[in-house]
């Protein structure tokens, strides 16, 4: 999920990034020179842009790799890119209407590092997400759970790091600290791009089913069961002229991000029927301050200042928010009837 925060603060770059940038920049400059020499695309030649060129061919793994890397990061390897989201978290229970519970807004700061294989990138990311009151937009420290009428402590999302690779083959899904061990076959990285007028749309669905880091025998009030079923849905809207403009090392976009997940552990719902549904707008680029709630931004600047900048090196492991919850929180006392 990529997101980000405010004022796009550019951090330092490691020696690894500088070393790998030489090859990547040389390759991209060569491509730019080729297109310029042969009537290549820029903002004045938007009509010439198609899904197959002139800069990238979206029917090839390489074209997908370069385009997706520009969506989630910046090919200028010394810089970072912001991504953001803001929307609702709703509760879904059998036999009743869906209920909007609270807001959720956050961001990620990402940086691309060259992959040691010489092809593709390692994307390093920090992400933070804040649950807030829908009426006041105040970040929540406590929440009166309407399903249980119990006041609970809110645990926000703060993942450092959450890293992925962008290459010419699909990366295996996160193993969540070994909880999701099934690796898919190696598949060429070709995404379902669709042209709609001057825009290109991309939709990605990710469905996971893995052993829950919060097992009910240890976490009876936090755990939704021995297995976790989570789905994420991403849509991206990007201008075709931008995709085919070799001068753009990062691509601005807008879209949506939604997620279906078990009850949040801090809601203390245990294995009660139902689940949470996230529905948010998302976007990527430099101007994120205008789309984030100001009170949420102030809260992050005070409580999570580290997350204003992307990491500058790859470290292991990348953990989900559920795994971090298991490491950083303690099981709630069992309620006495």
- Three-class SS state of 212: coil
Long-range contacts of 31-40 (CB under 8 A, 24+ apart): 31/55, 31/246, 32/246, 32/247, 35/246, 40/246
**Would 10 be classed as within a structural domain?**
no
- Three-class SS state of 8: coil
CA distance 331 to 187: 40
- pLDDT tens-digit series, residues 149-159: 999 999 999 99
**Would 8 be classed as within a structural domain?**
no
**Would 67 be classed as within a structural domain?**
yes
Question: Look-up: residue for tokens 């105040």?
Answer: 138
pTM of the model: 0.83
Question: What is the β-pairing status of strands 199-211 and 194-196?
Answer: antiparallel
Long-range contacts of 37-40 (CB under 8 A, 24+ apart): 40/246
The answer to whether the CB of 275 falls within 8 A of the CB of 260 is yes
Across 68-100, b (16+ Cβ under 10 Å) vs e yields bbbbbbbbebbbbbbbbbbbebbbeeeeeeeee
- pLDDT tens-digit series, residues 1-52: 333 322 222 222 222 232 333 333 333 443 344 334 333 444 444 458 999 9
Q: Which residues contact 266 (CB under 8 A, 6 or more apart)?
A: 152, 153, 154, 155, 222, 325, 329
**Would 230 be classed as within a structural domain?**
yes
Q: Which residues contact 129 (CB under 8 A, 6 or more apart)?
A: 3, 85, 104, 105, 106, 156, 157, 158
- pLDDT tens-digit series, residues 274-323: 999 999 999 998 766 778 899 999 999 999 999 999 999 999 999 999 99
| Structural domain boundaries enclosing 227 | 15-328
CA distance 106 to 158: 10
- pLDDT tens-digit series, residues 245-263: 999 999 999 999 999 999 9
**Would 337 be classed as within a structural domain?**
no
**Would 55 be classed as within a structural domain?**
yes
How many domains is the chain built from?
A: 1
CA distance 45 to 33: 16
Q: Which residues contact 189 (CB under 8 A, 6 or more apart)?
A: 61, 64, 65, 68, 166, 167, 168, 169, 170
Position 171 scores a pLDDT of 83
Which stretches of the chain are assigned E, i.e. beta strand? 80-92, 99-114, 121-132, 142-145, 150-153, 157-159, 164-166, 194-196, 199-211, 227-239, 253-261, 275-284
Cβ count within 10 A of residue 163: 20
**What Rg, from alpha-carbon coordinates, does the chain have?**
21
């Amino acid at each position: 999920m990529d997101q980000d925060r405010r004022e796009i603060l550019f951090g330092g770059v490691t020696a690894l990034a500088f070393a790998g940038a030489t090859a990547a920049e040389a390759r991209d400059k060569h491509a730019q020179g080729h297109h310029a020499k042969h009537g290549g695309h820029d903002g004045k030649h938007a009509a010439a842009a198609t899904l197959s060129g002139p800069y990238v061919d979206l029917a090839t793994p390489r074209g997908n790799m370069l385009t997706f890397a520009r969506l989630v990061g910046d090919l200028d390897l010394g810089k970072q890119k912001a991504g953001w989201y803001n929307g609702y978290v709703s509760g879904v229970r059998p036999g009743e209407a869906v209920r909007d519970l609270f807001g959720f807004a956050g961001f990620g700061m990402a940086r691309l590092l060259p992959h040691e294989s010489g092809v593709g990138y390692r994307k390093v990311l920090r992400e933070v997400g804040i649950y807030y009151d829908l009426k006041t937009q105040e970040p929540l420290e406590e929440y009166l759970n309407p399903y249980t009428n119990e006041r609970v402590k809110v645990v926000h999302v703060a993942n450092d790091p959450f890293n992925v690779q962008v290459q010419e083959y699909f990366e295996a899904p996160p193993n969540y600290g070994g909880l999701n061990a099934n690796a898919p076959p190696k598949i060429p990285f070709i995404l379902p791009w669709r042209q709609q007028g001057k825009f290109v749309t991309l939709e990605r669905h990710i469905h996971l089913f893995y052993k829950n880091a919060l097992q009910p025998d240890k976490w009876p009030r936090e755990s939704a069961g021995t297995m976790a079923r989570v789905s994420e849905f991403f849509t991206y809207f990007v201008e075709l002229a931008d995709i085919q403009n070799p001068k753009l090392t990062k691509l601005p976009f807008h879209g949506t991000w939604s997620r279906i997940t078990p009850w949040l552990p801090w809601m203390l719902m245990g294995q009660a029927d139902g689940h949470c549904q996230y529905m948010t707008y998302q976007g990527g680029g430099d101007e994120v301050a205008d789309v984030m709630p100001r009170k949420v931004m102030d809260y992050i600047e005070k409580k999570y200042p580290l997350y204003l900048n992307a990491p500058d090196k790859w470290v292991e492991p990348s953990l989900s928010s559920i795994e971090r919850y298991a490491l950083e929180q303690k099981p709630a006392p069992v309620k006495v009837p």
